[in-house]
Amino acid sequence: MTTAKIKICGIKDIDILQKIVELNIDYVGFIFFNKSPRNVDENFLRILNNFTFKETRPVCVYVNPDEDFVYKTSSYFTDPILQFHGHENSSFCESFGLEYWKAIRVKTKEDLNAMDNFNSASAILLENHKDGLYGGTGESFNWEILKEIDTDKQNLILSGGINSQNVDNALTTNSWCIDINSGVESEVGKKDINLIINILDKINNHDL
């Protein structure tokens, strides 16, 4: 059985969220970026007021947010992780006094050098670089690059186009966490619990 952590990102449906928590998935991501089809609105946040996450930890996802917006939206959660996908520097990421993850957009091996600018991050999320797009493209970068770096140096989160067909390959990168989003959707922005269960089965049976 794999030891990789699992995150399901882009949740905006309370029923799907409840099932994710019941499945004891490690992390669940909420996207606060109005250009995303998975953007979370205030109505959904109000529903969360009385929600119990149990063992699943919430992650608030941002792209170049202003400070007040981060404080306001993250306040709906207890002990959330902040995940930044834009041009935020380490000082900004640290300023909220919460654990944070920083996304690095990867096209070539040299792009990985940007990780050194965020030593205070508890994890670095690696996503495909696509000009003009932030917060994930739904496509994978060349995972072979990861074989050339020391994955023990920093917790690495692998993201981008991970689905039940390629998750076995994703797990061979020895990433600390696998971030799954569009790969468990029946249509853009709509999570499918059957696809989630299917990919979890593949992950749990990896290398058995």
Domains of the chain by start residue, with CATH: 5-204 (3.20.20.70)
Predicted confidence band of residue 197 (pLDDT cuts 50, 70, 90): very high
For the cut 50, the answer to whether the pLDDT of residue 1 exceeds it is: no
- Ranking 53-62, 101-110, 129-138, 184-193 by mean pLDDT, the lowest is 129-138
Q: What is the pLDDT of residues 118-176, one digit of tens each?
A: 999 999 999 875 555 444 445 566 787 787 777 677 899 999 889 999 999 899 888 99
Predicted confidence band of residue 207 (pLDDT cuts 50, 70, 90): low
pLDDT for the residue numbered 147: 74
Q: pTM of the predicted model, to two decimals?
A: 0.92
pLDDT for the residue numbered 108: 79
Torsion-angle region of 64 (φ positive above 0: left; ψ -120 to 50: alpha; else: beta): left
Structure token digits, residue 46 = 């109000």
Predicted confidence band of residue 46 (pLDDT cuts 50, 70, 90): very high
d(CA 28, CA 38): 13
Q: What is the pLDDT of residues 62-107, one digit of tens each?
A: 999 999 999 999 999 999 999 999 999 999 999 999 999 999 988 8
Mapping DSSP onto H, E and C, the string for 16-64 reads HHHHHHHCCCCEEEEEECCCCCCECCHHHHHHHHHCCCCCCEEEEEECC
pLDDT for the residue numbered 63: 95
